[in-house]
Amino acid sequence: MTHRRSLTSIAGALALIVITIGSAAHAQERVVPRSATELKLSFASVVKKATPAVVNVYAARAVEVRNPLFDDPLFRRFFGAPGNIPREQMQRSLGSGVIVDQSGLIITNNHVVEGATEVKVSLADKREFEAEIVLKDSRTDLAVLRIKDTTKERFPSIEFGNSDELQVGDVVLAIGNPFGVGQTVTHGIVSALARTQVGITDYQFFIQTDAAINPGNSGGALVDLAGKLVGINTAIFSRSGGSQGIGFAIPANMVQVVVASAKGGGKAVKRPWLGAKLQNVTPEIAEGLGLKRATGALVASVSPNSPAAKAGLKSGDVIVSIDGQAVEDQNGFDYRFGLRPLGGEAKVGLIRGTAETTISIALMTAPDRPREEVTIKSRSPLSGTKVGNLSPALAEELRLDPAIEGVVVLDIAAGSPAQRLGFQRGDVVVEINEQKIGTSKDLERVTRNASRMWEITILRNGRQVTAQFAG
């Protein structure tokens, strides 16, 4: 089964189940069936073209299993210390993937292979291969695999379609391995486009379809009637755990950005950096600014020396388009801007006061600096955290304000004091026991000193919080 997540922002507190779905369409004129004979036409030719490139993905990961019985004094008395008893077991997950290059490059969901120590893929012709993880991008929930094959075979691959050409009502096919029953094809229509309030990944811009999607479909293909890949199935809304006609796919145009980074040898996806904090335009904001509609992305702040600042973007500007494509909200801008190739410029249309204008923003990556990652092991409330020095690049990755400086929590060990006390990934440590924390080395040094009482100040979600903990 695939990994599942929960979502309560949709009516009825629908459970969000991570799976795979797809969507597709083509630029040709749409024609409604004109007779009963046309209704009998088959999708078989499309399926025959696309299914050889869709694979099953099997991932295995070692997870620690802690049995409370092992710590029971009576158990220890009769059976001794449980040092020889295995504390780890292999957890297996099942998903789908799509071969996007004949060399054996596969795209799937990141959650399908997250933490995996072993990955295998099964092709449509039943052959199995080991695969290696080439690149993982948690921001889009995508991962790129490569088949380990010494024969240099050319594998069947699928051609990318242009997901921007999809229209609501287009017929699409979803191909994957639901519930592990084997490769399955379902069909439906594109129910909606540019869904941005879903809460699955950083880039909220999904294709919605009613093609039947179920656990195990994650990472599978959504194809159009030309047999081209227009999306990677990712999630559904469901009360029962199965398909109820609301599924979401990552658009193929975003998938291509991740695949291109993998082909270029990168271990991470490089995207353009804006250097400004945006927010949605609410009806109240629209009324205050004199806008006719509550649409666009409002510039809340601009970081000094960023591409946005150098282009002349100002707080209070409302971004309404990018390279001629309309921007409905903050997530829509993030998606459109993230697709732009590095090295050029983006034409950004905006409303400033009562006037409309266009500025050119350079497409460059955010500056980075040595993160100097450190895991805190000394006895303190932060024990078990991995921390690193913030930079605009890391702030962009963690979705933090790029103007923030300091030390950020990157990871927290399961069961550690820091986890039990409620520290979270993305917390920025500002001060410990009245000592300013500027670098990860500062934090490591300060936490080495034993203390009967700890006073720690952090930044979380834009708010500064101070808490005291017993030593």
- DSSP assignment of 68-82 equals GGGG-HHHHHHH--G
pLDDT in tens, 114-153: 888 899 999 998 899 999 999 998 888 899 999 997 778 8
**Structural tokens at position 330:** 């903050």
Q: How far apart are CA 457 and CA 466, in angstroms?
A: 4
- Asked whether residue 464 carries a pLDDT value surpassing 60, the answer given is yes
SS3 254: helix
Q: Are 229 and 98 in contact (CB under 8 A)?
A: yes
- Asked whether residue 30 carries a pLDDT value surpassing 80, the answer given is no
CATH of domain 1-268: 2.40.10.120
Largest pairwise CA distance in the chain? 82
Single out the residue of 128, 152, 110, 137 nearest to residue 5, CA to CA: 110
C-alpha torsion 76→77→83→85, nearest 10? -70
CATH of domain 374-470: 2.30.42.10
Q: How far apart are CA 95 and CA 57, in angstroms?
A: 5
Q: How far apart are CA 78 and CA 23, in angstroms?
A: 60
pLDDT in tens, 400-456: 877 788 899 999 998 899 999 999 999 999 999 999 999 999 999 999 988 889 999
% of the chain with per-residue pLDDT over 70? 82
Single out the residue of 172, 156, 241 nearest to residue 208, CA to CA: 172
Residues whose CB falls within 8 Å of the CB of residue 356, separated by 6 or more in sequence, listed in order: 320, 349, 350
Two domains, one topology: 276-362 and 374-470: yes
More confident residue, 192 or 294: 294
Residues whose CB falls within 8 Å of the CB of residue 377, separated by 6 or more in sequence, listed in order: 383, 384
SS3 168: coil
Give the residues across from 94 on adjacent strands. Answer: 58
pLDDT of residue 201: 57
- Asked whether residue 226 carries a pLDDT value surpassing 70, the answer given is yes
More confident residue, 230 or 27: 230
pLDDT in tens, 146-198: 999 777 889 999 999 999 898 888 899 999 887 777 788 888 888 888 666 55
Element (H, E) at 206: strand 206-209
pLDDT of residue 401: 79
Q: What is the separation of C-alpha 80 from the centre of its chain, rounded to a whole number of angstroms?
A: 45
CA atoms within 13 A of residue 62's CA, in its CB half-sphere: 4
C-alpha distance from residue 159 to each of 49, 226, 228, 229 (Å):
10, 10, 5, 6
Q: How far apart are CA 57 and CA 179, in angstroms?
A: 12
Q: How far apart are CA 330 and CA 277, in angstroms?
A: 9
Residues whose CB falls within 8 Å of the CB of residue 20, separated by 6 or more in sequence, listed in order: 2, 95, 96, 109, 174, 176, 213, 216, 217, 218, 219, 220, 232, 233, 234, 249
Element (H, E) at 327: none
3-state SS of the chain: helix, strand, coil percent to 5?
A: 20, 35, 45
C-alpha distance from residue 110 to each of 29, 95, 136, 187 (Å):
35, 10, 6, 24
Positions marked active-site: 111, 141, 218
Q: Are 94 and 119 in contact (CB under 8 A)?
A: no
Predicted TM-score (pTM) of the model is 0.75
Domains in the chain: boundaries: 1-268, 276-362, 374-470
Q: How far apart are CA 344 and CA 165, in angstroms?
A: 23
Task: Please state the length of the chain.
Answer: 471
More confident residue, 238 or 202: 202
SS3 124: coil
Quickly count: other Cβ atoms within 10 Å of residue 225's Cβ. 18
CATH among 1.10.760.10, 2.30.42.10, 3.30.565.10, 3.40.50.300 for 276-362: 2.30.42.10
Average pLDDT over residues 366-384: 90
CA atoms within 13 A of residue 103's CA, in its CB half-sphere: 7
Task: Identify the burial level of 59 via C-beta atoms within 10 angstroms of its C-beta, where 0-12 means exposed, 13-18 middle and 19 or more buried.
Answer: buried
Quickly count: other Cβ atoms within 10 Å of residue 197's Cβ. 11
Q: How far apart are CA 383 and CA 296, in angstroms?
A: 43
More confident residue, 322 or 187: 322
pLDDT of residue 158: 95
